[in-house]
A and B are shown apart, each in its own frame.
Chain A
Amino acid sequence: MNQTTGEPIAGRLASLTEPTATELAALRRQLADIADTTGILDVAYTVVDSPVGPLLLAGTERGLVRIAYRREGFDAVLQALADRLSPRILRSPGRLDAAARQLEEYFAGRRTGFDLALDFSLSSGFRRLVQQHLPDIGYGHTETYRDVAAVVGNPRAVRAVGSACATNPLPVVVPCHRVVRSDGTPGGYAGGPAAKVALLALESAA
């Protein structure tokens, strides 16, 4: 809040010093760049378009830490990152360039695997174990929740595999969409059932 109401000259001064959107955007870009190179940008993020809607990509210095669908609420996702990792968060697309490019290639059908550093610090224990196994399910293939439970050495933990998939912090890149129900139906998905079907269709078409 400024105090310019009731003082015309102060109002005049406020509009005189008002930055344009372009000026402010340039300063913000520069801030993010310096913060990144000086090592005080704990989480960088950007939003990219995709055939399954806009995706938020977030990365730490260790790697890609979060991919989120819009239906998860980008503001809520960023707040959760602030609470769980660090509030030092800025929009800074540079750190996510490789991820953005590989996702674009994937959605264009030109890429079947991702070569990205991943930061699994948002998950732990059994869930992390499951999520780290998921990239072993090849492009265009699926496994059932039961299969995955068996592979990670806990055949009875079918429900836990379900929740590991549901809490996957890196959908698409960590392909939880390749885990389906035993009856062949897709099952739940953070991006919504339609997004899961779309990804499976993309991969079976290639």
Chain B
Amino acid sequence: MDTKPPFETVVDQHGSTVLRVCRAVLGPGPDADDAWSEVFLAALRSYPELPAATNMQAWLVTVAHRKAIDIIRSRQRRATPIEAVPDTESTIGLPDRVDEQEIWQAVAALPDRQRMAVAYHYLGGLPYAGVAEELGGSTDAARRAAADGIKKLRTTVTRGGAASKGAPR
């Protein structure tokens, strides 16, 4: 029998992963929240028809990718700048606020492909072949995009540690 867990379980298991991915791609604001809601509404809608053997996390990450693309396109149409830095006080509670902002800025500054490759692989757990399927291009190209993204972020954080002692830009 084609038995599936209640959808509530899917949200339990993958809710935070999907939000992490949306935040990494879209910034930690209302756009990420909207994308999250749309992903789970779309998932709930199709859930009864999905094969029971579906890898839900991978499937949700690919839906998140499509919602993110829609949101990025509508941002470009509106020509509003990407809101990379949270306006409100972070609730994450890390001690170094300046570092946090710098990482957010560095993430937002990555080219879309690199930012998405990092988010889908490192936060969404998608293998590079799956990342390539979403972004187009070869598996190697997806791996390179993620590696380039990671390298840039690493550089920023290393510099950020020193820069944070001075005045924030």
Contacts and interface: CB of A to CB of B under 8 A. Distances in A.
A53 to B, nearest CB: 21
Interface size class for chain A?
35 or more
B92 A30 contact: no
Contact of A3 (B8, B36, B121): B121
Contact of A87 (B7, B20, B36, B45): B7
Contacts, number: 122
B17 A2 contact: yes
A205 interface: no
Contact of A27 (B7, B19, B48, B154): B19
| Interface of chain A, main secondary structure | helix
B153 A31 contact: no
Contact of B122 (A2, A79, A89): A2
B37 interface: yes
A34 B41 contact: yes
Interface residues of B, number: 44
Interface string A41-66: 10101000000000000000000000
B37 A31 contact: yes
Interface in B1-50: 1, 3-8, 11, 15-17, 19-21, 23-24, 28, 33, 36-37, 40-41, 44-45, 47-48
Interface of A: 1-4, 7-10, 12-20, 22-24, 27-28, 30-31, 34-35, 38, 40-41, 43, 45, 78-79, 81-83, 86-91
A12 B154 CA distance: 10
